[in-house]
Structure 1
Amino acid sequence: MKVGIRIPPCRPVPEVAASARLAERAGFDAVTMPDSPTLWRDTFTALAFAATATERVELWSSVTNVVTRQPIGLASSVRTVAELCGDRFRLGIGAADSSAFLTGRCPATTGELRSGIALVTDLLRGAEGKIGDHAVTLQDPSGPVPVYLAAEGPRNTALAVEVADGVMTTFRDVDRKAERIAAAYAKSGRTSPFRHIVVSFVKITDDPAREARELKPRIVKTVQAEGARLFEEAGFDIRVPSKPILLPDGTDIGHPRDMDEAIRVASQWVPDEAAVWYAGQIGLFGTPREIVAGIERLAGLGVAALHMTDGGSFDLPDALIEQFGAEVLPLLRAGCSP
């Protein structure tokens, strides 16, 4: 199984590129970068720097969108990065989360995703695209790039099978999501390969309870987006404000610059016990051998790659890169499990 690391472009881009180079040297297969214009430096500029600083790793937008990025401009950005790193580039795209609500927009509908992806892919392969009745072509196109759609529900999962090379899901309920993907693939009649990528929190620790406190802000966002039923069924009564919660520095509670402040705010509604339970639902928290066992379980479900995150938004994950590269990757490559 391939393993990637999420590196937010939260620092000057030479530093972001250096982090990507560190990941490559540590043995990672991929570097992924999120895209949210008010939170971070421009993702495609950072990816371009990373392209010149690395030689082997895949480089992913994970994920960009067609809400804050108009598809023609997005196609041009993709072409530019693909020229620098060739077949190492992967276009991860989704409906938009913080990039939408922090700029007063709504996430893309399934229909908007379908038309946006179609326009981007047409332009990259040198075909004529349409904006209404106006024909558009991209000069010096890069050629096709692999497209991966972030999808949690059935409609966008079906769309991914229809228009993309693979689907990206979060770790939670991965068994059910793998079944849904397999069913959508079988129903579509598709015969070409289709890859399932899982995005997961990873914490190497012998004290998961201590690390789980950082998930409290994420729990607030989860309840806001999906309701409290998940936690009610586990015995936790969590009631949070319905509107997005901004912190004093202008970041949102799901992407905090000041994690301690975000935890303090979230602790009004989220008990420690709920965070510990949630850690087991959304990621791999444990010793190196426990994490290897979790990765092997994903492989058994047909997952092609794990893209891991330390959960941070404004710090480079260099510590996790070095620790995972030294303690987990050697066990994983050697096929070791408990």
Structure 2
Amino acid sequence: MLSKGVGLFPTEPVGAMRDYVHLAESLGYDNVWIGDSQNIWRESSTVLGAAAVGTERIVFGTGVTNAVTRHPSVLASSWATLAEYTGNRVVLGIGTGDSSLRTMGLTPQKLAELEASIAELRELFARNTVTEPESGAGYHLNYLSEPARIPVYIAASAPKILKLSGRIADGVIVLVGTAPEFIEGALRTIEEGAKESGRTLEDLRIVLWTPTAIDTDRTRARDLVRAHVSRVCIRPLPAPIDPDLEAAVNRIRESYDYYHHMDTEAAHADLVPDELVDLFALAGTPEECLKRLRDIESLGVDQVSIVPFVRPGESRAGTIRTFAGLVDQL
């Protein structure tokens, strides 16, 4: 059965974010993923801690963090603490770094650096000592009385990081769109990586991350997700697309502004044609979205995690409720 998750960027005060999380738990959501981009959103670790208070079942993750703005010692300690508080209801979602780095003119990690960071985190969770590369000093989490059991999921879209995810991750947050051919291509690449470590897709959990807007007015729904679609499609694409759409993607790449990352009113959103929305989002009427979910369910994805988009000032609660109802119809 397809599980449901929700990705929440902290664009609203902590109290509102906490309310969304508690609503999601009441509706049977399995995971909540909190965005981490310190220059454009509120502090993710504060949101995670506050939202966890009073919950009993939902699993908390980042969608996603990185090991550059968050030193591995800080990441390991914050997640071990959250795991202790929630009874291990945590998943560390990590990537190479995106808007959290690019808004400061910094470059995301190389894949080898990401792999090394994940290895360090796992050593720290296991109560082992790791070496700080600049100082050469060893350090560990001194307060842990037993190993912290924290799964690590990698956010991936391009082929190389999809393959790396298959090889080393506990799960993959897949950001390749909602078109079946894109998802199938991503799963094949993940499986190639899994084979390198003696595993199969059955050994990993696959989370499909998708911008989402559900409305009886399909045009309004599509308009709301264009900004996120622009971010998805400027990454290396998982499959060939029409040359006209490739030209549109190139125009988006040239104009993307990271300080308007996921902003529904960003100028680069106007460059996204409907054809790209159909490939990279879950957007349209409830009936259209249900049909796409049924297509996705047949592909072997474990979870669809929506990133709900609404007009500025509107609540995301309606989308969270509507999506839960659609999944219940599958």
Instruction: Give the TM bin, normalised by the shorter chain.
Output: 0.7 to 0.9
Count of aligned positions: 317
Instruction: Using structure 2 for the length normalisation, give the TM-score.
Output: 0.86
Cα RMSD for the two superposed structures: 2.7
| Structure 2 stretches lacking a partner, 5+ long | none
**What corresponds to 2:220 in structure 1?**
210
Are 1:92 and 2:93 matched, yes or no? yes
2:251 to 240, 261, 265: 240
Please state whether the residue corresponding to 1:107 is helix, strand or coil. coil
- Counterpart residue identity of residue 116, structure 2: S
1:150 is aligned, of 149, 155, 165, to 155
**TM-score, scaled to structure 1:** 0.84
Assess, with a 3 A threshold, how the Cα gap between structure 1 residues 66 and 33 changes in structure 2: closer, same or farther.
Answer: same
1:252 paired residue among 242, 255, 259: 259
Q: What does the per-residue CA deviation read over 1:98-155, in whole Å, with 9 as the maximum and x for residues that have no partner?
A: 1111122111110110111111111112111122332111122361201100112232
Deviation at 1:314, TM superposition (A): 7.2
**How many angstroms apart in 2 are the aligned matches of 1:189 and 1:166?**
15
SS in 2 for 1:63: coil
- Amino acid of the structure 1 residue aligned with 2:316: P
Where do 5+ consecutive residues of structure 1 fail to align? 333-338
Cα 1:245–1:302 shift into 2, 3 Å: closer
Check the 8 A contact 2:167/2:196 in 1, yes or no.
no
Q: In the alignment, which residue of structure 2 is the partner of 1:335?
A: none
For 2:311 and 2:123, the matched residues in 1 are separated by 33
Is the contact between residue 197 and residue 307 of structure 1 (CA under 8 Å) also seen in structure 2? yes
Cα distance in 2 for residues equivalent to 1:41 and 1:321: 20
Output aligned runs, 1:125-136, within 5 Å.
Answer: 125-132=126-133, 133-136=136-139
Q: Which of 135, 138, 141 is the aligned partner of 1:138?
A: 141
Q: Which residue of 1 aligns with 2:328?
A: 330
Which residue number in structure 2 is paired with residue 9 of structure 1? 10
Q: Secondary structure at the match of 2:142?
A: coil
Q: What is aligned with 1:196?
A: 206
1:56 pairs with 2:66: no
Distance 1:43 1:100 in 2: 15
Deviation of the 1:226 alpha carbon: 4.5
* In 2: Cα distance, 1:199 partner to 1:292 partner: 16
Report deviation, 1:243: 5.7
Determine the structure 1 residue equivalent to 2:28. Answer: 27
Supply the AA of the counterpart residue of 2:142: Q
* Distance in 2, Cα, partners of 1:277 & 1:323: 24
| 1:30-69 Cα distance to aligned partner (Å, 9 max, x none) | 1110100011221112111111131111111110001211
Instruction: Tell me which residue corresponds to 1:78.
Output: 79
Residue type of the partner of 1:252? Y
Q: Which residue of 1 aligns with 2:170?
A: 165
Q: 1:64 aligns to what SS in structure 2?
A: coil
- Secondary structure (helix, strand or coil) at the match of 2:163 reads helix
Whether contact under 8 Å (1:202, 1:309) holds in the other structure is: yes
Query: Percent same amino acid among aligned pairs?
Result: 27
Distance, in Å, in 2 between the alignment partners of 1:236 and 1:176 is 18
Name the structure 2 match of 1:181.
190
Contact 1:93/1:148 (<8 A) preserved: yes
Aligned-pair CA distance for 1:305: 0.8
2-structure distance, mates of 1:280, 1:241? 16
Taking structure 1 as reference, are residues 232 and 219 closer, same or farther at Cα in structure 2, changes over 3 Å only?
A: farther
Q: Secondary structure at the match of 1:328?
A: helix
Kept after mapping to 2: 8 A contact 1:170/1:198: yes
Segment of structure 1 superposing worse, 289-298 or 26-35? 289-298
| Structure 1 residues 72 and 235: alpha-carbon distance in aligned structure 2, compared to 1, 3 A threshold | closer
Partner Cα distance (1:22, 1:313) in 2: 20
SS in 1 for 2:109: coil
> Do the aligned partners of 2:232 and 2:280 also contact (CA within 8 Å) in 1?
no
